[in-house]
């Protein structure tokens, strides 16, 4: 345990010294890739060792923001449905909240923009080996979920997206993700509709995507349409809690 603490101390010190402004390619830093792998394996333990469930991810200053925020995964859902939404400025886009809630919701973008907003400058870490600092704005998901009144049995929030993904033998498969409710209610988990002060663009998830700042990149679903509260992940997609999890990534994507 003490060894692990020492190791993590070093790993995190390394992370912060690497934190020069903007985007950097971690592939160029072999020590980092190794450390990230190990940190990932320990993350569950780290949270309990160092952090209560409501600990904040580090926030940065405007000077740290990357001039260009890299886009990854789907850069445009490209479906007829999405194209129609884009063409009319997402006026008919809805984010629905259903499942184990007393008050199912259907929120327009106007509603989402009219809620109290949180702005946070954070570092996005993709497991493919790059990080990027950006400023995200939107309402806290906790406010939305509170309005939906989760039932006591609710354990997970499952997020469904508008972009189709290739899954062999399943032509009708879209990106999805999930978080434990405590992580969904975390103060830095927001429905982000702005990036670096501008309206969220298509490559980064327009009109709205999740930011859960203590989580790895694949836990930040873009093109968000539907949030369903459940008591189990079984029977959803491949049953592992997310598109990438179904391909073998770990469900626990905490940093």
Dihedral (Cα; 163, 113, 67, 34), 10-degree rounding: -60
Residues 138-177: x where in contact with Mo ion by CB under 5 A, - otherwise, as a string: ----------------------------------------
Q: How far is the CB of 83 from Mo ion (least distance, A)?
A: 25
Binding segment toward ligand MTE, per CB under 6 A, in 85-93, 98-106, 186-194, 199-207: 199-207
The structure tokens listed for 240 are: 């592992």
CA 242 – CA 207 distance, rounded (Å): 21
Task: Establish if 222 lies at the interface with ligand MTE (CB under 6 A).
Answer: yes
Q: For ligand MTE, which residue of 99, 207, 217, 237 counts as binding (CB under 6 A)?
A: 217
State yes or no: residue 74 binds ligand MTE (CB under 6 A).
yes
Residue 246: strand, helix, or coil: helix
Q: Would strands 224-230 and 94-99 be described as parallel, antiparallel, or unpaired? A: parallel
User: Which residue from 29, 59, 64, 70 is in contact with ligand MTE, where contact means CB under 6 A?
Assistant: 70
User: Is 136 in contact with 119 (CB distance < 8 Å)?
Assistant: yes
Q: How far is the CB of 77 from ligand MTE (least distance, A)?
A: 8
Greatest C-alpha distance within the chain:
57
Q: Which of 19, 86, 105, 126 binds Mo ion (CB under 5 A)?
A: 126
Interaction between residue 202 and Mo ion (CB under 5 A)? no
Quote the CA–CA distance of 23 and 84 in Å, as a whole number. 32
Give, in order, the Cα–Cα distances in Å from 95 to each of 39, 115, 230, 234: 33, 14, 17, 23
Instruction: Based on the shown chain and the rule CB under 6 A, indicate whether residue 73 belongs to the binding site for ligand MTE.
Output: yes
- The Cα 26–Cα 31 span in angstroms is 9
Nearer to Mo ion, 136 or 218 (CB): 218
**CB 97, min distance to ligand MTE, A:** 18
Per CB under 5 A, the list member of 217, 237, 241, 242 interacting with Mo ion is 217
Question: Which residue, 139 or 205, has its beta carbon nearer to ligand MTE?
Answer: 205
Residue 241 interacts with ligand MTE (CB under 6 A): yes or no: no
Helix (H, G, I), strand (E, B) or coil at 1: coil
Q: Determine if 71 is a binding residue for Mo ion (CB under 5 A).
A: no
CA distance 206 to 208: 5
- Report how far apart the first and last C-alpha atoms of the chain are (Å, whole number): 18
The helix (H) or strand (E) run that includes residue 224 is: strand 224-230
Classify each residue of 20-30 as buried b or exposed e, where b means 16 or more C-beta atoms within 10 Å of its C-beta.
eebbbebeeee
Is 226 a residue that touches ligand MTE (CB under 6 A)?
no
Residues of this chain, 116-175, that bind ligand MTE according to CB under 6 A: 126, 161, 163, 175
- Shorter beta-carbon distance to ligand MTE: residue 54 or 119: 119
Where does this chain bind Mo ion (CB under 5 A)? 126, 217-218
Where does this chain bind ligand MTE (CB under 6 A)? 70-74, 126, 161, 163, 175, 203-205, 217-218, 220-223
């Amino acid at each position: 345990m003490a060894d692990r603490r020492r190791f993590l101390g070093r790993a995190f010190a390394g992370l912060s010294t690497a934190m020069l402004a903007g985007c950097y390619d971690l592939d160029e830093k072999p020590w980092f890739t190794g450390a990230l792998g190990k940190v990932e394996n320990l993350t569950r333990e780290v949270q309990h060792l160092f952090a209560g469930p409501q600990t904040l991810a580090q926030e940065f200053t405007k000077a740290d923001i990357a001039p260009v925020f890299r886009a990854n995964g789907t850069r445009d859902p490209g479906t007829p449905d999405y194209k129609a939404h884009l063409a009319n400025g997402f006026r008919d886009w809805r984010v629905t909240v259903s499942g184990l809630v007393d008050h199912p919701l259907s929120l327009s973008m106007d509603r989402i923009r009219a809620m109290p907003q949180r702005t946070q400058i954070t570092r996005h870490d993709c497991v493919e080996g790059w990080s990027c600092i950006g400023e995200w704005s939107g309402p806290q998901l906790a406010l939305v979920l509170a309005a939906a009144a989760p039932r006591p049995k609710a354990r997970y929030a499952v997020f469904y997206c508008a972009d189709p993904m290739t899954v062999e033998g399943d032509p009708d498969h879209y990106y999805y993700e999930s978080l434990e409710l405590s992580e969904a209610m975390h103060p830095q988990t927001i429905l982000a509709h702005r990036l670096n002060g501008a309206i969220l663009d298509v490559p980064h998830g327009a009109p709205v995507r999740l930011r859960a700042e203590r989580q790895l990149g694949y836990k930040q679903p873009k093109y968000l349409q539907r949030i369903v509260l459940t008591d189990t992940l079984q029977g959803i997609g491949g049953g592992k809690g997310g598109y990438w999890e179904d391909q073998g990534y770990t469900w626990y994507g905490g940093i």
